[in-house]
Amino acid sequence: MEMNQVFRALLLLCLSLPAFAGDFALQTVQVNERVWALVGPIGPRTYDNYGLNNNVGFVVTDAGVVLIDSGSSNRGAQLIEQSIARVTKQPVRWVINVGIQDHRWLGNAYFAARGAEVIALQRTVQGQRSFAAQQMAALRETLRDRFDGTEAFHAPAPLAGDHAAFTLGGVNFELHWLGGGHFTGDAALWLPQDKIVFTGDLVYVDRMLGVLPDTRTAAWRDAFRRLEQFGAQRVVPGHGSVCDMAKARRDTGDYLDFLTDEISAAVAAWEPLDEVVERLGDAPQFKHLEHYDGWHRTNISRTYVEFEQR
């Protein structure tokens, strides 16, 4: 093995190690020469993982780091900052929020206190405000002392409309609200120069997505189809491994098609809920996804209620 290959292998090994012995760290994945993903576990939020069971990412520019989502707490934000520091000495100057769920934005205050500007669409901020109290109470219970000092901080000047294009540090960014996802205000961040998309909770791979009581599954399916039209070469999903659109289609798009097509037809035919759950509850094409056993039948039930209430 040549020396440069050895150095690269050692660098990638170091990037995957925790900040200090015995602690938790997100997996650091280089997507291209300036774009990185920080990949969390696909299990539940726990005290040990600081509630960071999701993916965030960052872009290293000549003028500083652009962070995509900020983590679940001050302590989680510190771990993200430590991961970034092992790649670059540049400070985090901007934080872009693409999602509403707690582990996407409750680290905002930590980075804002260090001078970072927080950016988000107005729809996303509205959703964050709506769920803030509920999310903070739940994370306080899970993280206990590791939630101390965490405050709800939102983009002070949220961007109006469903689309915003801007340049930070010489890199072009586009924020798109495509119709909703796991939460109705979830957005996606497109890097047109790099052909990379940060999907937030519009895309789950390696694990089953979750339909919440407020999720609009048909709208999520339509949003995924709009996402496909970007022509992304690399996808940083909200959960799971960095991938291409083909894998995103298999693990998220096909499942959203399954739920929408099958259940809308069942409701239209007046098929009872218990019969629908029993008939569709075994879906072998999705059994490879983590949390299939715990989530699939719940997703069917919640999607049925959604279509029934239309």
What pLDDT digit, counting tens, does each position of 106-151 carry? 999 999 999 999 999 999 999 999 999 999 999 999 999 999 999 9
Q: Which two tokens stand for residue 300?
A: 């069917």
Mean pLDDT over 35-59 rounds to 97
pLDDT at 43: 94
The span from the CA of 164 to the CA of 172, in Å, is 11
User: What are 266-270's contacts with CB under 8 Å, separation 24+?
Assistant: 266/304, 267/304, 267/307, 267/308
C-alpha 59/C-alpha 169 separation (Å) is 10
Work out the average pLDDT over 285-289: 97
What total of structural domains would you count in the chain?
A: 1
To the nearest whole number, what is the mean pLDDT of the chain? 93
**Distance between CA 60 and CA 12 in Å, rounded?**
17
- Whole-model pTM: value is 0.92
pLDDT range class, residue 310, cuts 50, 70, 90? confident
Q: What is the mean pLDDT of residues 80-95?
A: 98
- What single letter denotes the amino acid at residue 58? F
Q: Report the pLDDT averaged over residues 186-198.
A: 98
For residue 196, pLDDT beyond 70: yes
pLDDT digits (tens, 9 = 90+) for 1-27: 343 443 344 334 344 434 433 489 999
Is the separation of the CB atoms in 301 and 273 below 8 Å?
A: yes
Report the C-alpha gap between 9 and 5 in whole angstroms.
6
DSSP per residue over the chain, as a string? --HHHHHHHHHHHHHTS-SSTT---PEEEE-SSSEEEEEPPSS---TTTTT--SEEEEEEETTEEEEE---SSHHHHHHHHHHHHTT-S--EEEEE----SGGGTTTHHHHHTTTPEEE-BHHHHHHHHHHHHHHHHHHHHHHGGGGTT------SSPBPSSEEEEEETTEEEEEE--S-SSSTT--EEEETTTTEEEEEEEEE-SB-----TT--HHHHHHHHHHHHTT--SEEEEEES--B-HHHHIIIIIHHHHHHHHHHHHHHHTT--HHHHHHHHS--GGGTTSBTHHHHHHHHHHHHHHHHHT-
**Domain membership flag for residue 249:** no
* Cα distances (Å, whole numbers) of residue 242 to 27, 74, 108, 214: 11, 25, 24, 27
Note whether residue 260 is domain-resident.
no
282 lies in a domain?
Answer: no
Q: Identify the CA nearest to 85 among candidates 109, 103, 58.
A: 58
Question: Between 292-308 and 273-280, two packed helices, what is the crossing angle to 10 degrees?
Answer: 140
Domain assignment of residue 227, yes or no: no
State residue 289's pLDDT score.
98
- Report how far Cα 282 is from the mean position of its chain's Cα atoms: 27
In a domain, 243, yes or no: no
Asked, for residue 9, whether it belongs to a domain, the answer is: yes
Q: What is the pLDDT of residue 5?
A: 43
CATH of the domain at 166: 3.60.15.10
Range of the domain at 105: 3-177
pLDDT tens figures, 219-272: 999 999 999 999 999 999 999 999 999 999 999 999 999 999 999 999 999 999
What is the rounded end-to-end Cα distance, in angstroms, of the chain? 62
Tell me whether residue 172 is in a domain: yes
Mean pLDDT in residue range 68-76: 98
Determine the Cα–Cα distance for residues 57 and 70; give it in Å rounded to an integer. 9
Distances in Å between the Cα of 83 and the Cα atoms of 80, 132, 168, 240 are: 5, 26, 21, 18
14 vs 56, which has greater pLDDT?
56
List beta partners, residue 29.
Answer: 37
Does any domain span residue 270?
no
- Report pLDDT for 299: 98
